[in-house]
Structure formats: C-alpha cells, structure tokens
Amino acid sequence: MSEIVLVVEDEPSLQDTLTYNLKKEGYAVEAVGDGRSALEAARRLKPDLILLDLMLPEIDGFEVARVLRKEMTTAILMLTARDDEIDRVVGLEVGADDYLTKPFSMRELIARVKAQLRRTRMLREEMEKIGESVPAHETLKFGNLVIDLTRREVTLKNQPLQLKPKEYELLLFLAEHRGQMLSREFILERVWGWDFIGDSRTVDVHVRWLRQKIESDSANPTRIVTVRGGGYRFEG
Ligand code: CA
C-alpha cells in the first residue's frame, strides 16, 4: 500500500508541483489549501506524512501542527518562506519534525520526505518490537524522575511531563547512557538519525527544553550536564 502524504499549501502552482512530484514517487497524495481543511483531511486520512506550509489562510501552519501533534504522531515537514531561526525553533516546538525553507528544489524536498518516512517506519517497527519484548511497566528511576518505557511517559514528582516525541527519545537515550559523555554529533546521529538534515544546535535546543522540564533549576542543571568542549552527560 502506498504511503499517504497530505500536502497543505495555499499557493496553487506550488501545490500542483508538490502533488505531481510526490505522486511520481509513488505516494498517495491529497492536497488542501487552508488550515481548516488540513485538520479535516489529516483526521480523515491519517497520513504518513504532512507537508505543512506555514503561512495559510484560516488557521496557520503553527496552529495546525500544534493541534495535530496532540492527536497523532504523523511526521510533519514544515515549509516556510521565512528563513528565521525563531520560526525554526517555534516550528520544532509545536511539533514539526523537520523544516524546509522556500525556495527549495524538488530533489531536496523528495529526499526529506523519504528520510522522514523512513524514520517513521523505523520508529513504528521499533515501537512494535518494544511492545512485544518489554515487560509491562518497565521503568527507569532517577530519584523523583521516572521514565515509563512501556507507556513512553515521564513523570517528575509523580506529575506527568508533557514531552514532545523527540524530547522523550533524547531523554531516554541520555538516561540509557547515564554517566557517559555523549557528543552532540553522536546524539544527533543516534536520536535524530544519520539522514537528519540539520545541525547539532538541534541537540542544544532540545536539551534546553528538557532541562526546563526536568531540572529544578534549568540555569544550573544537575541531571543533564554540559561537558566542556564535548557534549552532554546524564547524571541521573
Ligand atoms: Ca502560504
């Protein structure tokens, strides 16, 4: 069965070009031109990937991503005309998995789409494997910080934390290598994947978000410490 890609783009010529090129790659494609239709189509289709333009009529791409992220784990690749670091960070924060700044080449777009779908498949397979092999409620405990591997839930002082999927994966990866110095590049490769097109600042941004959620004083972290000239180490 073909993987389903939902294209959300209000500019008709770009919407057509995206649809044409994705269909040529063998994907089942549906295209919509505004945020409201995007939410409706995403809920109906349960796509494998959403290409989401940022500036949209009715409801913008940020809001669409924010709403969908609460409902589904579908990969979201955001398209934006603004090459602005703040947009990137906000986009990642609302739950986009990757970013592409206009103008982009179709070759680059297809490469990113393939990379995201490959990651989705790998994660799905891994989830299935974990589901089979991990006994019920296997947990990692670090004082009042508890990672429930079965439910993919993290609690601090018995309060559940709202972690984005990448934050969870990053925390789990760090926790599984407690006490070891992990370089940004190594973390990027292992948590984001070798084909992730980004840089190690992505790791720093996610570490910052994690610290805000799990450290009692995120300015003076004691759980995830920075190793000078290297990377990060999880102390527990
Ligand atoms: Ca637009």
CA distance linking residue 209 with residue 171, whole number of Å = 11
Ligand 1 centroid to Cα of residue 39, in Å, is 16
Residues bordering ligand 1, an ion, CB closer than 5 Å? 10, 53, 55
pLDDT score, position 33? 97
Ligand 1 centroid to Cα of residue 197, in Å, is 23
Ligand 1 centroid to Cα of residue 116, in Å, is 22
CA distance linking residue 186 with residue 12, whole number of Å = 41
Ligand 1 centroid to Cα of residue 216, in Å, is 40
Domains of the chain: 4-126 (3.40.50.2300), 134-234 (1.10.10.10)
Residue 223 has pLDDT above 90, yes or no: yes
Ligand 1 centroid to Cα of residue 120, in Å, is 26
Residue 236 has pLDDT above 50, yes or no: yes
pLDDT score, position 134? 44
pLDDT tens by residue, 45-70: 999 999 999 889 989 898 999 889 88
CA distance linking residue 95 with residue 72, whole number of Å = 11
Ligand 1 centroid to Cα of residue 103, in Å, is 12
Pairing between β-strand 145-148 and β-strand 139-142 as defined by DSSP bridges: antiparallel
Residue 187 has pLDDT above 50, yes or no: yes
**Lowest-confidence region among 112-116, 146-150, 205-209:** 146-150
pLDDT score, position 228? 85
Q: What is the DSSP letter of 200?
A: T
Ligand 1 centroid to Cα of residue 118, in Å, is 27
CA distance linking residue 161 with residue 212, whole number of Å = 11
Most confident of 9-13, 162-166, 230-234: 9-13
pLDDT tens by residue, 7-42: 999 999 999 999 999 999 999 999 999 999 999 999
CA distance linking residue 153 with residue 68, whole number of Å = 19
Ligand 1 centroid to Cα of residue 76, in Å, is 16
Ligand 1 centroid to Cα of residue 56, in Å, is 5
Tell me which of 25 and 190 has the higher pLDDT. Answer: 25
pLDDT tens by residue, 79-123: 987 666 656 666 677 778 888 888 899 999 999 999 999 988 887
- Cα torsion 23, 29, 35, 38 to 10°: value is -170
Ligand 1 centroid to Cα of residue 58, in Å, is 11
pLDDT score, position 119? 86
Ligand 1 centroid to Cα of residue 235, in Å, is 44
pLDDT score, position 151? 80
In the block, residue with structure tokens 């389903």: 4
Ligand 1 centroid to Cα of residue 84, in Å, is 16
